[in-house]
Amino acid sequence: MIRKIIHIDEEKCNGCGLCARACHESAIGIIDGKAKLLREDYCDGLGDCLPACPTNAISFVEREAAAYDEAAVLENKKKLEAQSADTNTAAPVHNGCPGSMARRIQRNDNLPSFSSFLAKRHNNNDKNAGLADQTANTDTNTGAASSIPESQLQQWPVQIKLVPINAPYFDGADLLIAADCTAYAYANFHQDFIKGKITLIGCPKLDSVDYSEKLTEIIRQNNIKSVTIVRMEVPCCGGIQNAAINAMKASGKFLPWQVYTISTDGRILA
């Protein structure tokens, strides 16, 4: 029969496995690092997997396909539940590359600083103790304890191409959309920009993609409170600014937003 069914573009697929997790019918699996439609009759054509895909590799097509078999899906679910009970293990929450798994990062102010780590390594006679000598946790000029900045990143992943559209950390988020070079050019990027925000980064020149569609869905489908855009002064970096602004317009939401431009020598220009 001719019906609507998903199509997976293997060239765009990064094997993160988020689509397989989102598919309640178990129609999708990861084979050789790529998402595959395992059984046509398990696909109901509703597309729960589409918004979960961070690379937009999944789309709908109409073609000759086996009819959706709800009875077979329910029977398969029973088998999977039985297998899980027999092995006393829970179903996996993430299939595919661990580096692409969405997660919230909880900050602990009591974590040891980098300087204390180096001092401890020096005390243990590590072969790289020379590095600890150079960055000891006491300022030799003032005698005061040095301050090593801590990461302010609150979630993973951060690449626009990889982040799931419906990640739970988007709920109530102040969104930072930044060109990836900005964090290298501006020294205090974590404290001044990342702190308190959910961070998305990309390079419109090297990625050669228009982020507008992905950003539109992130803003449209989540409770985003505000958007901060940080770009470099170079002309090609205007692509990420335009994508963010176009996404806000296309989402139909009116959000407070602002743009900061960083110079190549690390100054805030505007």
Per-residue pLDDT tens over the stretch 255-270: 999 999 999 999 999 7
The CATH code of the domain at 2-100 is: 3.30.70.20
Contacts of 244 (CB under 8 A, 6+ apart): 177, 211, 215, 227, 229, 257
> Higher-confidence residue: 128 or 54?
54
pTM for the structure as a whole: 0.58
pLDDT of residue 212: 92
Average pLDDT over residues 158-170: 88
% of the chain at pLDDT higher than 90: 43
Residue 66, pLDDT above cutoff 80: yes
pLDDT of residue 14: 86
Residue 199, pLDDT above cutoff 90: yes
Residues 201 and 163: their CA atoms lie apart, in Å, by: 10
Domain with CATH 3.40.50 in the chain: 152-262
pLDDT of residue 90: 42
pLDDT digits (tens, 9 = 90+) for 138-149: 444 444 445 678
pLDDT digits (tens, 9 = 90+) for 21-41: 888 888 998 888 889 999 999
% of the chain at pLDDT higher than 70: 77
Q: Specify burial of residue 12 (Cβ count, 10 A radius: 0-12, 13-18, 19+).
A: middle
The Cα diameter of the chain in Å comes to 80
Residue 216, pLDDT above cutoff 70: yes
Count other C-beta atoms under 10 Å from residue 187's C-beta: 11
Which DSSP string do the residues of 135-156 spell out, in sequence order?
T-SB-TTT-PBP-PPPP---EE
> Higher-confidence residue: 231 or 166?
231
Alpha carbon distances (Å) from 108 to 8, 96, 105, 157: 40, 28, 10, 19
Strands 155-156 and 257-262 come out as: unpaired
Strands 103-104 and 155-156 come out as: antiparallel
Domain with CATH 3.30.70.20 in the chain: 2-100
Of the listed ranges 40-49, 177-186, 221-230, the least confidently predicted one is: 40-49
Per-chain mean pLDDT for the chain:
82
Residue 219, pLDDT above cutoff 80: yes
Residue 95, pLDDT above cutoff 70: no
The CATH code of the domain at 152-262 is: 3.40.50
